[in-house]
Chains A and B, each alone.
Chain A
Amino acid sequence: MMNPVLGRELRERMRTGRAFVVIGVFLSLLILTVYLVYQGTKSTGEIQTDLARQTRLGRDLYEWVLFVMLALVLFFVPGLTAGAIAGERERQTLLPLQVTLLRPRSIFIGKVLAAMSFLVLLLVAAVPVMMVAYLLGGIRVLDGVKGIGIIFVVAVLLTIMVAALSSLARRVQTATLVAYGFTALIILLGPLLYFTMRVADGSKGADLENPPAVLLTFNPIAIVADATAGENSNESGNPLRWSRGELVNAKSYNNDSWFAWFPDDDFGARFRILNGNDDGFPAWILGTAILSAVAGTLSLFAIRRLRTPAETER
């Protein structure tokens, strides 16, 4: 039997106009991105004659669409998911739900699955926009799948984290503020720590005093950038490329390890990245693993918060 919470959420979500407004805004902004990038490159006058240039345009378009898609997901997910549990509380519908035979984990999973289903709808709707880049060349079908896939993974992890945080709040407004604050933290915490430590170190040489490159990995932008890296993708030109460049620099300061303090021992070797080789430990896997651990911990906490009988009314 389908999770009852999932069924109800989907029914309610699709019944309101909000879902269609979000899809409309999402697609409009992606189409605008394609138009602006295409116009920007076309104005150079080289696009019709230079195949290499056209291929590069395809890659540019792909990366810009990915970046805007990621930015929109990071913007929409907290707004759409923050009310998951807090909304039930605010509408006074949580207590009737808690006295049914549904287990707390079913309630939580239902909420997350409903949000994920909507994400799937958003990302599937974006496929035709992504195909424009494919038609221009410079990317393979696999690149498109990888791009949408990694954005989906990041979105799912963020959804889980925001839904879990929603269990802390009594009002949707508070939950929304917490959700956006947390999303900002996920995006900024690692880079802020890393660059602050790097400024404090000042040497920038490959020594043990350098900040660990791992600080840059659990960032959604870095995860998408690393997972979608391809030819010509380390040059400057868009935020994904900038992020990739910073990751490469950070690793080089750490003797190609994610952790500056064990660059040469056996344990450290497992986390080493060998520039130019494919047998390294990718940043996106490390970043996804860290975010997964945070999402898992928060989920357990949220399920515990939903458990009754409780010591206090939640």
Chain B
Amino acid sequence: MSDTIDIETSDGEPIDGHPVDGDGKVVEEQPAAAVAVRAQQLSKRYGSLLAVNQLDLVVPRGSIFGLIGPNGAGKSTTFAMMATLLRPTSGRITVMGADPSQKPRTVRRRMGYMPDNLGVYDNLRVDEYIEFFAASYGISRTEWPSLIDGLLELVDLSVKRSSMVNSLSRGMKQRLSLARALVHDPELLILDEPASGLDPRARVELRELLKTLNTMGKTIVISSHILAELEEMCTDIAIMEAGKLLAAGTPREILSRLGGARTVRVRFATGATEAFTVNDDAEQAALLRRLLVDEERDVVEFVEESGGLEQLFMSITEGVVQ
């Protein structure tokens, strides 16, 4: 995806409304059909607080797009604007080609949203809960049984079909919420902190589920504090802080563009271990070639130390709190 993702630094000013990269070059705009969400100079102000500050963002269709940032970075506000809940103060946003402020119902038909706070109707059964949202999306009653079967199977809650919602664990409720967001078969899923409060097993299950949904052709925009999880799952990421976009692209791409060095740990047949610092993929390949070919050393392990997204996040953000 590296050729389709735009990158922008926090001080990147737009040229004629087009986003620019850190070097001041105009970023190539993607054709509308390839874009699920496009934000241009998007801002949201609450009184004196600028929650989102001139955000330029492109979410490619078919991607799993992770939006990362500390608390108060503006992620949930950005999601709320995507999800037709909040009107931007300035700038423009299109979701599946439509403006959420102008045509909210068009966007809602094609988008499923899961807010960061898990709210469910405790006094309903699992199947009744899905029925309610199917009715709210105007889905014909005759379609409900097959729809419920399919969704519950997808989120692995078939055995809980007749259970009361209040008897479900948090992980199960989270999956039920996901089923709810999928009830009208949207092309885009906006998931705000879906893994928060889940135990490790539930997290893994959720991650696998999201990957499955992605293979079904759904674009997923997700935020999370668990960076390792996003790193494993996301094809693209954007890092926000204090309402501003700091970087966007694939994690490797961002590392390369920001000139971030990485550590490669090499273990030799003798049992000795050495660490090397490389700046990019080319340097990493050159190192391996040098060790194996030039120096003819017996390498048994060649591992890039995973600081990955976490390291990237720490190097980009400054811990600014609004």
A residues whose Cβ falls under 8 Å from a Cβ of B? 1-2, 4-5, 7-8, 11-12, 15-16, 91-102, 308-313
By the criterion CB–CB under 8 Å, are A99 and B83 in contact? yes
Quick one: closest B residue to A314, CB to CB? B85
**Candidates A11, A15, A99, A312; contact of B108 at CB < 8 Å:** A99
Quick check: is B290 within 8 A (CB to CB) of the other chain? no
Interface size class of B (residues with CB under 8 A): 35 or more
By the criterion CB–CB under 8 Å, are A1 and B46 in contact? no
Known contacts A8-B121, A97-B136, A100-B108; A311/B87 CB under 8 A: yes
Known contacts A4-B136, A100-B137, A102-B136; A309/B100 CB under 8 A: yes
Rounded to whole Å, the gap between the CB of A47 and the closest CB of chain B is: 48
A-B contact pairs, 6 of them (CB 8 A): A8-B132, A12-B123, A91-B121, A99-B85, A100-B136, A312-B86
**Candidates B86, B111, B123; contact of A310 at CB < 8 Å:** B86
**Candidates B80, B115, B128; contact of A92 at CB < 8 Å:** B115
Quick check: is B31 within 8 A (CB to CB) of the other chain? no
Interface residues of B in 133-147 (CB under 8 A from A): 133, 135-138, 141
B residues whose Cβ falls under 8 Å from a Cβ of A? 46, 80-81, 83-87, 100-101, 104-105, 108-109, 111, 113-115, 117-124, 128, 132-133, 135-138, 141, 177, 180-181, 184
By the criterion CB–CB under 8 Å, are B85 and A96 in contact? no
By the criterion CB–CB under 8 Å, are B85 and A309 in contact? yes
Assembled-state Cα–Cα distance A44/B83 (Å): 71
By the criterion CB–CB under 8 Å, are A92 and B132 in contact? no
Quick one: closest A residue to B138, CB to CB? A101
Taking CB atoms, residues of chain B closer than 8 Å to A92 are 115, 117-119
* Given A99-B113, A309-B84; 18 other pairs, CB 8 A cutoff: A1-B141, A12-B123, A91-B119, A92-B117, A92-B119, A93-B119, A95-B113, A95-B117, A96-B133, A96-B177, A96-B180, A96-B181, A98-B85, A99-B83, A99-B111, A100-B137, A308-B104, A309-B104
Assembled-state Cα–Cα distance A91/B124 (Å): 14
By the criterion CB–CB under 8 Å, are B81 and A309 in contact? yes
Quick one: closest B residue to A3, CB to CB? B135
Taking CB atoms, residues of chain B closer than 8 Å to A102 are 136
By the criterion CB–CB under 8 Å, are B87 and A309 in contact? yes
Taking CB atoms, residues of chain A closer than 8 Å to B81 are 309
By the criterion CB–CB under 8 Å, are A96 and B87 in contact? no
**Candidates B100, B108, B114, B135; contact of A4 at CB < 8 Å:** B135
By the criterion CB–CB under 8 Å, are A101 and B119 in contact? no
Which of B114, B118, B121, B128 has the most chain A CB within a 10 Å cutoff?
B121
By the criterion CB–CB under 8 Å, are A96 and B105 in contact? no
Taking CB atoms, residues of chain B closer than 8 Å to A101 are 105, 108-109, 136-138, 184
By the criterion CB–CB under 8 Å, are B113 and A310 in contact? no
By the criterion CB–CB under 8 Å, are B128 and A11 in contact? yes
Taking CB atoms, residues of chain B closer than 8 Å to A91 are 119-122
Assembled-state Cα–Cα distance A139/B135 (Å): 46
Rounded to whole Å, the gap between the CB of A177 and the closest CB of chain B is: 23
Taking CB atoms, residues of chain B closer than 8 Å to A308 are 84-86, 104
Taking CB atoms, residues of chain A closer than 8 Å to B87 are 309-311
Quick one: closest B residue to A4, CB to CB? B135
Q: Closest 7 interchain pairs by CB?
A: A92-B119, A4-B135, A100-B136, A92-B117, A93-B119, A309-B87, A12-B123
By the criterion CB–CB under 8 Å, are B132 and A4 in contact? yes
Rounded to whole Å, the gap between the CB of B96 and the closest CB of chain A is: 14
Known contacts A96-B115, A309-B104; A16/B86 CB under 8 A: no
